[in-house]
Structure 1
C-alpha cells in the first residue's frame, strides 16, 4: 500500500479526473452526496447495498433453484452502485495526492467489479447461468479487493474522518488566555492557542468575539487563513464553511461541525476562551 501511495505516475490522470468531477453540475446535490446533512460521509452508507446484494447473490449461487433470486440481487447491486460511486467520486475529488492515488485504484477496482456484474447479468438473462455465476464470483472478488483499498483510505490514510474530533480531549477544562482585546482586529481571523490547541478568534463588527478550533474538520486546513463571509469562516483549502456563532458546517466538503469555544473579556482586557459544552 505504501508503494501505491507513492505512485506519482497516477497524478496526471488523477488531476484530469478531479477536474471533471469538480466540474459536474451538481449544485446543492454535491453537499447531499458528501453527507453534510448526515454528519459524516454518505459514501460508506451507500456502498452497503451493492456489496450486500452481490454477497447475497453469491450465496444463493451456491444452491440450486435460486437463479432468479440471484439475478434480481445482481440487478439491485448494479442499480445501487451508481449513486455509491458518485458519492465516492465527490469525496475523492478533495483528497490529498497520496489519498487520491489509492482512491483512483480503488475506483478502478470497483469499475471492474461493476463490469463483471453487468456481464454476469447479461449471461444470466440469456440463460447462461454457469457463466453468470462465474462472472459474479469474479466480480465479488474484485469488489473485495476494492474494499481493502477503501479500508486503507479510511483507516490508514484518514480519508473522510473528522480531523477535529480530538479537540475536546486535548483542551483542559476552564478558561485559557489568548491575548488582549486589541490583538483582535474587527473582522480578521486571528490564530491563538488554548492549552496548545490552535484556535481561530474572530471579533465581529458588533464587538462580539467568536472562537473555533483552527484546524478544519475536513482535512486540517488552517481556518485562520480563510475568509469571513456572512457570519461564517471559509477554509482556504477546500472551501468548507463554518458558522462562527456555533461552529455548524453549512457548506462541504466538511461533514462534521467545528468545535466551538466560549469567549469572555476579563476586567484587565484579556480575552479568554474555554471549550463550549456540546
Structure 2
C-alpha cells in the first residue's frame, strides 16, 4: 500500500501547490531554524518526542483509575508542542522529491487528524464526558501510530532527510591517497577530483587545501557546479539544486535546506602533492 502511495501522482496537484505556498511563506532565517541547519541535525525528529511522548504517557494514565487530571495535563502539553513540530515537518517536506512528498503528505494529514482528536478529547474531558475523551484520545494515538509508520518509511525506505553524502565516505580509502599536484589546483576556486568513483571537492587557499564530498548532503546536488560566496575562512559553496550552503574549510551548513554538515575529509600536502583520506 505504501509503495502504491509513492507512485500516487494524483497527489501531486495538492503537493505542488502546498510546496509553493510553504516555500514562500517564511524568510530564510526561519527556514534555517526549522530545518535544523543551526543544530547540524534535522530539527523535526528532535521535536516530535515532546508531543508523542506526552500523548503516549496520557494514554497510559488513562488506563489507570484516578489519573484523569494528569492525563488531561499531558494531552495539553502534547497539543501545545505540536505547532512548532508540525511547522518543522512541513518545512522539511517542502524540499523533498515528488515521491517523498506524496508519502509525506499523507503522513502529515494523518498526524494532523490525530492532533485534532486529542484536542477534541480535551474538550470532551472539560465538559465532563471523560469516557468520550478517553475514546478520542486512543483514536488519536492509533492514528499517530500510523503516521509514525509513514514517517519511518520516509526515513528508512526513502532516505528523506538523511545525509545523502555520508555513504560515500565508506567507499574512500582510509590511508592517504594522492589526488593531484598542488600547483594544478586553482587558488580560491573549487575543483572536482574522483577517488574510487567518488567525486571530491577540493578547495585551495594558498598552500592549504580542504577536501569534502562533492555530492550535497541534502539531495546529492553537484557542489562542483555551485558558486563560491564569501572570502577567506568564511568562503562557502552553494548547491546549485536547492541552495544549501556549506563552509568550505569545515563543511558546516550555514544555510538550508540541508541540516547535516557536508562530510569533510582529511587532507595534506606532501612534497607538492595533495593527499586525502577518510576522516
TM-score, normalised by the number of residues in structure 2: 0.90
Alpha-carbon shift at residue 133 of structure 1 (Å): 0.9
Alpha-carbon shift at residue 254 of structure 1 (Å): 1.6
Q: Find the aligned partners of 1:24 and 1:152 in 2 and give their Cα distance.
A: 27
Q: Find the aligned partners of 2:150 and 2:244 in 1 and give their Cα distance.
A: 26
Secondary structure of the corresponding residue to residue 219 of structure 1: coil
- The equivalent residue for 1:138 is 139
- 1:44 has 2:45 as partner: yes
Please, which of 226, 251, 254 is the counterpart of residue 250 of structure 1? 254
Asked if the contact 2:208/2:269 (under 8 Å) is kept, the reply is: no
Asked if the contact 1:181/1:265 (under 8 Å) is kept, the reply is: no
Asked if the contact 1:175/1:272 (under 8 Å) is kept, the reply is: no
Q: Find the aligned partners of 1:147 and 1:259 in 2 and give their Cα distance.
A: 29
- The equivalent residue for 2:16 is 15
Alpha-carbon shift at residue 26 of structure 1 (Å): 4.2
Asked if the contact 2:201/2:224 (under 8 Å) is kept, the reply is: yes
Q: Find the aligned partners of 1:38 and 1:275 in 2 and give their Cα distance.
A: 26
Q: Which runs of 5+ in 2 are unaligned?
A: none
Q: Find the aligned partners of 1:246 and 1:274 in 2 and give their Cα distance.
A: 14
1:30-109 to 2 correspondences below 5 Å: 30-109=31-110
- The equivalent residue for 2:238 is 234
- The equivalent residue for 2:148 is 147
- The equivalent residue for 2:219 is 219
Cα deviation code 1:4-35 (max 9, x no counterpart): 11111111111111111111224423222212
- 1:124 has 2:104 as partner: no
Alpha-carbon shift at residue 101 of structure 1 (Å): 0.6
- The answer to which of 40-49 and 145-154 deviates more is 40-49
Alpha-carbon shift at residue 275 of structure 1 (Å): 2.7
Asked if the contact 1:199/1:212 (under 8 Å) is kept, the reply is: yes
Cα deviation code 1:207-248 (max 9, x no counterpart): 754322101112211111111111110111111111111222
Alpha-carbon shift at residue 190 of structure 1 (Å): 2.7
**TM-align CA RMSD:** 2.0
Asked if the contact 1:189/1:200 (under 8 Å) is kept, the reply is: yes
Q: Find the aligned partners of 2:169 and 2:58 in 1 and give their Cα distance.
A: 44
Equivalenced residues, count: 273
- The equivalent residue for 1:272 is 274
Secondary structure of the corresponding residue to residue 132 of structure 2: helix
- The answer to which of 185-194 and 38-47 deviates more is 185-194
TM-score, normalised by the number of residues in structure 1: 0.90
Secondary structure of the corresponding residue to residue 120 of structure 1: helix
